[in-house]
């Protein structure tokens, strides 16, 4: 057994594989990230009170486009619950079908060139990529969590229309940058076509940074701070109103 092992290693050194391996954050990386985030006084003070931006703290390879593309090609059913985010002056937020293409990764990229693509239930759809992120957040906050992935093309002006999120939200920017405008919680919740006010935060969120807020209205634009780069982020939400620091 040992002889066979060393022969294999030697051959690999002589003829290295050209196959590109998609990097990703490990479960341990996510555990460290969420435990650190849950312990931060900034999160304790901001919980249900105000938006909070923490720069440069997200895992370096939280999610890459290569890893996401490889995952959808390996299992095309992961796109069954995916949709493009459509919006207009009065219609608000509407999910529509992705573009057609025989290869799932091309379908994903083509659809995101004209609008944001929303991949729901990321921990379930991509257990190898994002299951560890969900488990680590559940352990750190001791609250139910859900995770979505948003992929937006470099030429998309508006990543998402103004809308209200009625739960605690953690945005982890994984690639490129997005311009976020976060507004005070509206009463009643924001209606389609309504303009939120007042403005609580205006922030260009770059990888690897994190934004958190609860119950606020948001308006998101793709932000070409890096030319010709798709921007994508993880959107993790917690459905409990209890402050884990209380």
**Is-contact 77 232, C-beta < 8 A?**
no
Q: What angle do CA 218, 116, 97 make, to 5 degrees?
A: 120
**Is-contact 228 154, C-beta < 8 A?**
yes
pLDDT value at position 139?
A: 93
pLDDT value at position 229?
A: 63
Non-local CB neighbours of 246 within 8 Å, separated by 6+ positions: none
What are the residue ranges in the chain where pLDDT is below 50? Answer: 1-20, 224-227, 245
Tokens representing 101 are 């293409």
Cα gap 149→232, rounded to integer Å = 7
Tokens representing 98 are 């992705």
pLDDT in tens, 169-209: 899 998 888 888 888 877 666 665 566 667 788 888 888 88
Which is nearest to 52 in space by CA: 216, 241, 188? 216
């Amino acid at each position: 057994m040992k002889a066979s092992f060393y022969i294999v290693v030697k051959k690999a050194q002589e003829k290295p594989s050209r196959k590109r391996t998609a990097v990703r954050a490990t479960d341990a990386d996510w555990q460290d990230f969420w435990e650190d985030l849950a312990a931060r006084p900034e999160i304790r003070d901001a919980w249900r009170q105000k938006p909070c931006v923490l720069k440069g703290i997200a895992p370096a390879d939280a999610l890459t486009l290569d890893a996401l593309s490889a995952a959808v090609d390996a299992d095309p059913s992961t796109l069954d619950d995916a949709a493009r985010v459509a919006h207009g002056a009065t219609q608000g937020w509407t999910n529509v079908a992705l573009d057609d293409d025989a290869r799932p990764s091309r379908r994903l990229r083509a659809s995101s060139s004209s609008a944001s693509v929303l991949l729901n239930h990321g921990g379930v759809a991509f257990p190898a990529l994002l299951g560890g992120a969900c488990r680590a957040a559940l352990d750190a906050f001791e609250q139910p969590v859900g995770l979505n992935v948003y992929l937006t093309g470099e030429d998309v002006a508006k990543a998402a229309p103004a809308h209200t999120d009625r739960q605690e939200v953690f945005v982890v920017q994984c690639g490129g940058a997005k311009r976020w405008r976060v507004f005070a919680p509206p009463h009643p919740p924001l209606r389609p076509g309504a303009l939120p006010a007042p403005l609580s935060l205006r922030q260009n969120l770059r990888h690897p940074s994190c934004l958190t807020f609860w119950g606020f209205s948001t308006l998101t634009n793709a932000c070409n701070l890096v030319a010709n780069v798709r921007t994508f982020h993880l959107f993790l939400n917690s459905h409990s109103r209890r402050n884990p620091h209380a």
